[in-house]
Structure 1
């Protein structure tokens, strides 16, 4: 900022003796443009700072969401493993029960045939 003041003071020294004319008017126009540029630069800096904070917030949200999705994925994998384990146990239970049921059914048929056989034999003997 000091260099800008030095430039202005050196210009004032150079053009001090010149009457109000074209040179002085162009210097004022340049000063006005420079002042407008400074305001525009300040406005841009504010916007850049806002965008920087906004992108930082978005990055933080994305990191949080990624962590939540990772946890959910791990939980889904764990529940899938538990479900497969439960299904395997149910299959074993149903297979053993169906085998037992089938064995009981076969045993009851054999017992029924022996009963009929002895009844027929007993009745034919009488």
Structure 2
């Protein structure tokens, strides 16, 4: 209820201030529009402090963005270098598999590696069943 009373009171004061309007312009009353230089100076100083703070903040954001751009450029260059190395490795790998003797050697090595892992697995299973 107090909100409605305040709203009505502010509305009434607005219409009372409209009574001060004359045909040539506004009749300014010093009680309704106080000119406070000290308050204006204080508000200007506060605004200036906020602007300085925002300027520093945007400068920090700019520096952070620049550092991230440099870091992304380095990562991109590293990825390009690794892509070149990887393509060279794949080319060599293709050359190895194109030769029949090399293919047999690779199959032999792969079968030894697979046999090794199977033997390790069997030993672990055997040890589990024997020693629980």
TM-score range, shorter-chain basis? 0.5 to 0.7
4+ residue runs of structure 1 moved beyond 4 angstroms?
Answer: 99-102
Q: Which is richer in helix?
A: 1
CA drift of 1:101 comes to 6.3
State the aligned residue count: 74
Q: TM-score normalized by structure 2? A: 0.51
**Which is bigger in relative contact order (C-alpha 8 A, separation at least 6)?**
1
1:55 equivalent to 2:58? Answer yes
CA drift of 1:34 comes to 1.4
Please give the root-mean-square deviation of Cα atoms over the aligned residues, in Å: 2.3
CA distance in 1, matches of 2:46, 2:78: 48
CA distance in 1, matches of 2:44, 2:90: 67
Give unmatched runs, 5+ long, in structure 1: 1-25, 103-126
CA drift of 1:35 comes to 1.2
Q: TM-score normalized by structure 1? A: 0.53
